[in-house]
Amino acid sequence: MTEYNRVVIPIGPQHPSLKEPACFTVTLEGEKIVDAVIGIGYNHRGIEKACESRYYTQIIYLLERVCGICSHTHTTAFCQGVEELAGVEIPRRAAFIRVLVAEIERLHSHLLWLGVAAHEIGFDTMFMYTWRDREAVLDILAELGGNRVNYSINTIGGVRRDIDDSLKQDILKMVDALEEQVKYYRELARSETTLAARLAGVGKLSREDALKYGAVGPVIRASGVDFDIRKVDPYAVYGEIPFKVVTDTHADVFGRTVVRVLEMLESIEIIRYCLENMPDGEITAKAPRRIPAGEVISRTEAPRGEDIHYIRSNGTEIPDRVRVRAPSEANWHAMKQMLLGQYLADVPITIAAIDPCFSCTDRAIAVNSGRETELMDWPRLRQYSVDWYKKRGIDVSSVKMPERRSYF
């Protein structure tokens, strides 16, 4: 095929399917994608640099806002790292609460993803169902931390909120109800043929490619690799909690869906285990203000995969360098591989299937296209339509457009 059969379609940065800005340029031959360029960086805010001018405790709240969906994971990774540098051992109860909140967060994140994915394939009923169920999880998080999204549980040396008996009962009630729902979704994924037909074979990523491009989280697990930081490098109390790493061999969007749904069931079990086996005691240990010099890498398993934080301290109250490698950043590299050879209509669901989080990714990359684009404003657009109709013998120039009123 020659070049001129190709059509280049730019998508983004603002587009209906994703909540965040990213720009994709896909090249098509007919309906098939032959090339894809991914432009990210719209959400780059410079958080890492900002970390270098804030105190450790301030950074916790800043890093929490790297991403509003997996906020707990980022602070866990950071606090863990700082605790290691300072030689602080957190109380066991605090470690249990960290795990508990992390799993509740995973539930909310996976439900959110399930909804978005369903919406992407036009299955809006399921979107509404999952988001309704997610509300129960958010209520628990709000009860726990006082905020629905950035709940600030972690602090250096432990956690900030304790769990009392009534909250424990509420959590148990929530997971019982949710378990029913998740089982229903599992049934749906297994028996609903339209769903399987729409998702199977879309966004293929072979085991070799997944390893080659360094995919993480549910993406690599759906390609048959059992890689989960909770198992390979256990932190907090994950080492003693019995749970399975869910894998699947479909290696496509369907596999990723199955992995996430089954992971939710595992999370529910972990939550139950934590509530049952949580010891009494303190929830914070004393941490020094000045963190001894040194460097550390700390890893956690975010809902989207492996989250790595690197912290270098110079012995003061302010770190020398903080680097965050969020899971979505790792998954982007495999994206192109997944898109090639697909149909254009599969682009949204393929992208959604890695559960991309631009807020996470974009802290580290700055892209500037420097391109000038032309914009047709309303008066010009109107003039264009008036001319168009005039050529066809209709005069619409007497119809007035609403004018800009001054609001300020």
Partner 1 sequence: MSLIKKAIDWGTRKSPWIIHFNAGSCNGCDIEIVDALTPRFDLERLGILQRGTPRHADILVCTGAVSLQTKDRLKQIYDQMPEPKFVIATGTCACSGGVFDGCYCVLGGIDRVIPVDVYIPGCAVRPEAIISAVVKLLGALEAQQKGGGKDAERRSDYSTVGREIQSFEG
Residue 15 or 272: the one with the smaller Cβ distance to partner 1 is 15
Inter-residue contact 38 to 64 (CB < 8 Å) = no
Kindly report the CA angle at 67 between 64 and 73, in degrees rounded to 5? 60
Report how far residue 94's alpha carbon sits from residue 282's, in angstroms, rounded to the nearest whole number: 8
Could you say which of 1, 2, 4, 16 contacts partner 1 (CB under 8 A)?
16
For 364, counting Cβ atoms within 10 Å of its Cβ (0-12 exposed, 13-18 middle, 19+ buried), the class is middle
Between 45 and 173, CB nearer to ligand SF4: 45
Peptide bond into 13 cis (omega under 30): yes
Report in angstroms how near the CB of residue 308 gets to ligand SF4 at its nearest.
22
User: How many CB atoms are located within 10 Å of the residue 406 CB?
Assistant: 5
Distance of CA 250 to the CA centre of its chain: 22
CB neighbours of 387 closer than 8 A, spacing ≥ 6?
Answer: none
Closest CB to ligand SF4 among residues 149, 245: 149
Residues 41-80 that bind partner 1 (CB under 8 A): 41-47, 49-50, 53, 61-62, 65-69, 71
Nearer to ligand SF4, 68 or 122 (CB): 68
Q: Indicate which single residue of 15, 160, 186, 336 sits in contact with partner 1 (rule: CB under 8 A).
A: 15
For residues 313 and 136, give the distance between their C-alpha atoms in angstroms, rounded to a whole number.
Answer: 40
C-alpha–C-alpha distance, residues 334 and 354, integer Å: 9
SS3 313: strand
Q: Residue 13 interacts with partner 1 (CB under 8 A)?
A: yes
Nearer to partner 1, 72 or 230 (CB): 72
Size of the site for ligand SF4 (CB under 6 A): 4
H/E element holding 196?
Answer: helix 193-199
CA distance linking residue 133 with residue 146, whole number of Å: 19
CB 125 within 8 A of CB 193: no
The entry of partner 1, ligand SF4, none that residue 406 binds, CB within 5 to 8 Å by partner kind = partner 1
Cβ neighbour number for residue 57 with a 10 Å cutoff: 13
CB of 385 to partner 1, least distance (A): 13
Q: Which of 46, 68, 239, 341 binds ligand SF4 (CB under 6 A)?
A: 68
Q: Does 4 participate in binding partner 1 (rule CB under 8 A)?
A: no
Please report how close the Cβ of residue 359 comes to ligand SF4 at its closest, in angstroms. Answer: 8
Which of ligand SF4, partner 1, none is residue 55 near (CB under 5 to 8 Å by kind)?
none
Could you tell me which of 402, 68, 394, 117 has the C-alpha nearest to residue 255?
A: 117
| Interaction between residue 321 and partner 1 (CB under 8 A) | no
Six-digit token string for 237: 């109390």
Q: What residue 67 binds from partner 1, ligand SF4, none (CB within 5 to 8 A, per partner kind)?
A: partner 1
Spatial separation of the C-alpha atoms in residues 111 and 117, rounded to whole Å: 10
Least distance between partner 1 and beta carbon 303 (Å): 13
Q: Residue 67 CB, nearest distance to ligand SF4 (Å)?
A: 9
Q: Which residues, 79 to 138, sit near partner 1 by CB under 8 A?
A: 112, 115, 127-128, 131-132, 135, 138
Binders of partner 1: how many residues, by CB under 8 A? 57
Dihedral sign, Cα of residue 106, residue 108, residue 114, residue 119: negative
**Between residues 65 and 168, which has the closer beta carbon with respect to ligand SF4?**
65
Binding residues for partner 1 (CB under 8 A): 13-16, 19-21, 41-47, 49-50, 53, 61-62, 65-69, 71, 112, 115, 127-128, 131-132, 135, 138, 147-150, 357-359, 366-368, 373, 375, 377-378, 399-408
Binding residues for ligand SF4 (CB under 6 A): 65, 68, 149-150
